[in-house]
Amino acid sequence: MDPKINKGQRLIGYMKQYIGHYILGILAVILVDVIQLNIPVITGNITNDLQYGVLTMPLLMRELFKLLMIGITITLGRFAWRYYIFGTSRHIEKNMRRDYFIKLESLSTDFFNEHKTGDLMAYATNDLNAIRMMVGPGVLMALDAVILTVLVLYKMIGTISLKLTVISILPLPVIAIGSLILGKFIRKRFKDKQEAFAHLSDLVQENISGMRVIKAFVKETYEMTKFSVANRHNYDKNMHVVKLFAIMMPLVTLISGLSIAIALGFGGRMTIRGEITLGEFVAFVQYILILVWPMMAFGWCINIVSQGMASLSRYEEIMATKSTVADKEVLIEVAQLSGSIQMKDLTFAYKQDAEPVLRDISLSIEAGQSVGILGRTGSGKTTLANLLLRLFDPPENTVFLDGVDVLALPLEKLRKSFGYVPQDNFLFSDTIINNIGFAKEVIQRDEASEAAKEACVHDNIIDFKDGYDTIIGERGVTLSGGQKQRISIARALLSEAPILILDDAVSAVDTKTEEAILDMLKNQRGHQTQILIAHRISTIQHADLIIVLDDGRIVEQGQHEALIANKGLYYEMVKQQQLEREIIEEG
């Protein structure tokens, strides 16, 4: 659906997909409401026949049979409207959740930098549940309230007494008016409640993910205190909503009871005076009891709709968000990228008014060349990788693949040209083979095994009880840091992309394993362009080209020996790491 359309149009679009189900549900509601209005008529007739002494057993059995048939019809009708209206609301919830997930998948990296996981999860659970209640029970209550009110009033006025009807229902509009007033407050409070729940969810999710760190630093008490504050805030916001409900429901009961009392008082008086029969009086009281439900339903409907609209507003905030990284209107189709990279006068900042993290970057990388990128923390190394992958958009005509501006390439084609090992080595809670074969449509076990051997992790994998079918837990929690890095490398190798980017990808492995992986890259993957981002000199010293970044600028570039001879920043970093290594060896 178009993100530009307003929330009313979007929701109506979902509902239109099931218009046939809604119509059948509405017909079932009408049938049930019409049929149940015969119950007061039958009980009134039985009462009159008893009063006048004309009730016979066959007549009574016939009337009871009618009541039985009415009961069966109402049961079937209620099943039908529950199936078609409530079932449809489940379909709409499913479709909205699907579209929400698709939307999240389409959004760019900066969106997820600004939104917490727990908050995004709350949209998909609590908010969509509130919307479902609005398009299911909310629709039903609204229809039922209107239809039943009209039919009951018609029966009361047309068959019993206009005067008695007007007097008896005088208190009932107060319910509707009160519901409308309270509904405005409910919407605001419910939105606050949802946001409080989102914050609580995010806190819990973050604690579960970071449990090892919490335990390592003995911060359980601190985190429990933080949780208590968030939990109390969530409780308070929930209670703000509950208090409004606590006002509304007793008010509805009080006013409904007042209406019944008036009906009993005035109706009884009219019966004594002979203005209406005893049977009509009994029927009228039943009609009043039936009419109480639509008034209560109207109040509940206002609550449900208020909550649903508040959640729909939150949902729409996400659905209306535009990705800052997307395919351009005019694209250049390239059959196959060879892997050459050029950057020309690249200056980049993550925010428009922020300080640039890269300044005046110009470099040229030939296809099949290995390039090491070295620099202090925060010098812009990972940002270069992000711009190549278009996780963030570089300025126009600054980054090129095979001479084509990356902004002019289809995103899918561009990203499939990279085998990427990010710093955080993210792994899914799945089997090892599925993680290694993530980039493939169909995973061949021998291909996964070969990639694992190249990444020096095959022996570790076969030592596990289930081998390649081992479930590694959330974010690879059951693996060591080095194992996660090497499985991530295997995943990138299996993609067979023309360009490999390894962002600090061997920092957690020992020197011997690092050398084996680097030898493999040089001897077996020489046809691929390799970008090695690292802090350790040993990782990049044999690269064809070494680029040294400092404060977002290229301060040196060349090969290892030339940079040593230059005695600049690279030379200083080499000496510093040598000194650190000597201190460790002596210690």
CATH code, 428-496: 3.40.50.300
pLDDT per residue as tens digits for the range 509-528: 888 898 999 999 988 888 89
Contacts of 556 (CB under 8 A, 6+ apart): 546, 547, 548, 563, 566, 568, 569, 570
Whether pLDDT at 188 is above 70: yes
The fold of the 341-417+497-586 domain, in CATH, is: Rossmann fold (3.40.50)
Kind plus residue range of the DSSP H or E element containing 555 = strand 553-558
What is 342-390 written as a DSSP string? Answer: EEEEEEE-SSTTSPPSEEEEEEEE-TT-EEEEEESTTSSHHHHHHHHTT
Query: What pLDDT sits at residue 290?
Result: 82
pLDDT band at 3; cut points 50, 70, 90: very low
Query: What pLDDT sits at residue 114?
Result: 84
Whether pLDDT at 390 is above 60: yes
Query: What pLDDT sits at residue 356?
Result: 92
Q: Which two tokens stand for residue 458?
A: 């095959």
Query: What pLDDT sits at residue 121?
Result: 84
Query: What pLDDT sits at residue 357?
Result: 93
Contacts of 231 (CB under 8 A, 6+ apart): 200
Whether pLDDT at 531 is above 50: yes
Find the mean pLDDT for residues 484-501: 92
Query: What pLDDT sits at residue 4?
Result: 47
Question: Is 433 within 8 Å of 398 (Cβ atoms)?
Answer: no
Whether pLDDT at 248 is above 80: no
Q: What is the pTM of this model?
A: 0.78
pLDDT band at 386; cut points 50, 70, 90: very high
pLDDT per residue as tens digits for the range 117-163: 778 888 888 889 989 999 998 888 888 888 888 888 888 888 888 88
Q: Which two tokens stand for residue 337?
A: 């990228």
Query: What pLDDT sits at residue 6?
Result: 59
- Listed by start position, the domains of the chain span 7-319, 341-417+497-586, 428-496
Whether pLDDT at 313 is above 90: no
Whether pLDDT at 537 is above 70: yes
Report CA-CA distances (Å) from 237 to 117, 131, 286, 317: 21, 19, 40, 21
Q: How far apart are CA 330 and CA 225, in angstroms?
A: 54
Find the mean pLDDT for residues 461-484: 86
pLDDT per residue as tens digits for the range 51-76: 888 888 888 898 899 989 999 999 99
Please identify which residue in the block is written with the tokens 């070494």.
546
pLDDT band at 1; cut points 50, 70, 90: very low
Query: What pLDDT sits at residue 587?
Result: 57
Report CA-CA distances (Å) from 172 to 182, 270, 296, 299, 543: 16, 21, 10, 11, 83
Query: What pLDDT sits at residue 142?
Result: 85
Whether pLDDT at 241 is above 60: yes
Query: What pLDDT sits at residue 490?
Result: 93
Angle between helices 87-106 and 278-319 (to 10 degrees): 10
How high is the mean pLDDT of the chain? 86
89/4: higher pLDDT: 89
Domains 341-417+497-586 and 428-496 agree in fold = yes
Cross-strand pairs, 18: none
CATH architecture of 7-319: Up-down Bundle (1.20)
Strand order in the sheet with 529-534: 418-421, 499-503, 529-534, 370-375, 545-550, 553-558
Query: What pLDDT sits at residue 360?
Result: 94
> How many C-beta atoms surround the C-beta of residue 362 within 10 A?
12
Find the mean pLDDT for residues 353-361: 91
DSSP-based helix, strand, coil % in the chain, nearest 5: 65, 10, 25
pLDDT band at 212; cut points 50, 70, 90: low
Q: Phi first, then psi: give them for residue 534, nearest 5 degrees.
A: -155, 165
